[in-house]
């Protein structure tokens, strides 16, 4: 069996309005973000979702709370779904931070982590999903690092390609955990060549 995973980013935050890279800081949704979160709930609440997993950072938790209030769908917080930790650069200009993003694919931000470390952390969450949610549909609310973990670990997209691409926001992405075995086989055979 496999688990159907729907991924949605946290909604628009006050830091997004200010052009700030929030990183591991909590952040708060803006009025626009709360309205978008309500739209997310309307779009997904009848989508066969058994559970919602969200990053424990406030902007992601708030997105889940607004979107799924009163539904009875359990909302579970998991720190492994957090954004990349920019260390001393948390809360700095998003344009400046992302301009040098490729330099931190493998080299951690000062006092933080690398993108590869962030993706690996989120991947440990994926290892636990089949233990309880095999055959179910779940929704993840997270960040860039969360989506890159899904793209890389489930779809086999190289991190080197993800780090230079635009995020290309849209209303949700869908994955299946059964695809992870194929992606693992693909990466293993590629490294053996």
Annotated binding-site members for substrate: 22-23, 59, 83-86
Phi, psi (degrees; rounded to nearest 5) at 45: -65, -25
User: What Cα–Cα distance (Å) separates residue 30 from each residue in 58, 59, 107?
Assistant: 12, 9, 32
10 as an active site residue: the answer is: yes
Query: Which residues belong to the annotated binding site?
Result: 22-23, 59, 83-86
143 as an active site residue: the answer is: no
Sequence-distant (6+) residues with CB within 8 A of 162 are 148, 151, 152
Q: Name the catalytic one among 10, 104, 143, 152.
A: 10
Grouping H, G, I as helix, E, B as strand and the rest as coil, residue 49 is coil
Q: Name the catalytic one among 83, 104, 143, 152.
A: 83
Contact 187, 18 (CB under 8 A): no
How far is C-alpha 101 from the geometric centre of its chain's CA atoms?
17
Q: Which of 84, 88, 104, 59 is nearest to 148 (CA)?
A: 84
- Catalytic site positions: 10, 83
């Amino acid at each position: 069996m496999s688990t159907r995973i729907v991924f949605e980013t946290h909604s628009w935050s006050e830091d997004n309005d200010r052009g700030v890279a929030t990183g591991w800081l909590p952040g708060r949704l803006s009025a626009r973000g709360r309205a978008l979160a309500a739209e997310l709930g309307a779009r997904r609440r009848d989508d066969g979702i058994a559970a919602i997993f969200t990053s424990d950072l406030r902007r992601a938790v708030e997105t889940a709370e607004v979107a799924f209030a009163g539904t009875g769908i359990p909302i579970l917080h998991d720190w492994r779904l957090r954004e990349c930790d920019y260390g001393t650069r948390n809360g700095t200009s998003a344009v400046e931070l992302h301009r040098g993003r490729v330099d931190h694919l493998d080299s951690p931000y000062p006092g933080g982590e690398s993108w590869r470390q962030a993706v690996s952390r989120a991947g440990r969450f994926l290892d636990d999903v089949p233990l309880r949610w095999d055959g179910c549909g779940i929704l993840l609310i997270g960040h860039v690092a969360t989506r890159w973990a899904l793209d890389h670990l489930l779809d086999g997209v190289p991190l080197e390609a993800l780090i230079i691409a635009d995020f290309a926001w849209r209303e949700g992405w869908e994955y299946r955990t059964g695809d992870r075995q194929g992606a693992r086989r693909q990466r293993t055979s590629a490294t053996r060549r």
